[in-house]
Homo-oligomer: A and B are copies of this chain.
Amino acid sequence: MTTSEKATYHHGDLKKALTEAGLQVLQQEGLNALSLRRVAREASVSPAAPYRHFTDKHALLIAISEHGFTELESRLRDSKENRPGDIDASGAAYLSFAIENPELYRLMFTQNIMRETEADHDAKERSREAFLRLVETIENGIQNNHIEDTQCHMLALSAWSLVHGVSMLAIDGVLAGSPFEELSHSQIFKTAQSYFKNGWRSKK
C-alpha cells in the first residue's frame, strides 16, 4: 500500500522479503515448517523465484542466520554501552536473546557458517564476518589490560562456552524443574559464574 516501497522496481526487494518471511516462519512454526516453497508463497511469488536470489535452501538459512548474528551482536553492544565493564549484564543479554529466539539461536549454531558446503559464497562470507564480529564483541567485553591477547582470547572462549551452554540447556528445556528456573536470567549467569569461581571440589 505504501507508495514509496512499490516504486522500487518490478517487484520490491524480494531477497529481503524472503529472508524476513523465512525468519517469521522459523520463529512461529519452527525449522521443519521452513521451506523455500513456503517462503515463496509467503512473499506471493512462484516456487522457483527464490533461486534468483539464493543458490540453495542452505543459502537462505545462512542469510537468516546472519541476521541473527547481527542482532545478537547489536544487543551485546547495547549492553556494553549501558553497563560498561559489567560482564554479567552481557551474559544476561546473550541469554535473553537465546531464550527469546530459540529457533533462530539454534539455527545460528546448527547450519553453521564454518561447515563446508557449496552454498552461496558471498552470503557465507558475510555471515562469517558477522560471526567474527560477534567473537570480537565478546572479546572486547572482557578486555583486560593486565593480560595478553592470547589469554584474553581463551578467557573469551571460556566465558562464551559457559553462556552458550546455559543458553542451549535453557532452550532445550533442561533447566525446567531445576533451581535455575526460579532465577532471573541475570541471576542464572551470576550463579554459574560464582560456582566456577569457588571451584567444584570432588570427594577425593
Which A residues form the contact surface with B (CB < 8 A)? 84-87, 106, 109-110, 112, 114-115, 135, 141-146, 150, 153-155, 157-166, 168-169, 172-176, 178-180, 191-193, 195-197, 199-204
CB <8 Å contact, B179 and A154: yes
Residues of B within 8 A of A158 (CB): 162, 191-192, 195-196, 200
Residues of B within 8 A of A145 (CB): 203
CB contact between A163 and one of B115, B165, B176 (< 8 Å): that residue: B165
Instruction: Give the complex CA separation of A49 and B112 in angstroms.
Output: 34
CB <8 Å contact, B114 and A110: no
Other A-B pairs, 17, CB within 8 Å; known A112-B172, A154-B180: A86-B204, A87-B200, A110-B172, A112-B173, A114-B173, A154-B179, A154-B192, A155-B195, A157-B169, A158-B192, A158-B196, A163-B165, A164-B168, A165-B168, A168-B168, A196-B197, A197-B197
CB <8 Å contact, A114 and B155: no
Q: How many copies does the complex hold?
A: 2
CB <8 Å contact, B179 and A153: yes
Distance of A69 from chain B, by nearest CB (Å): 12
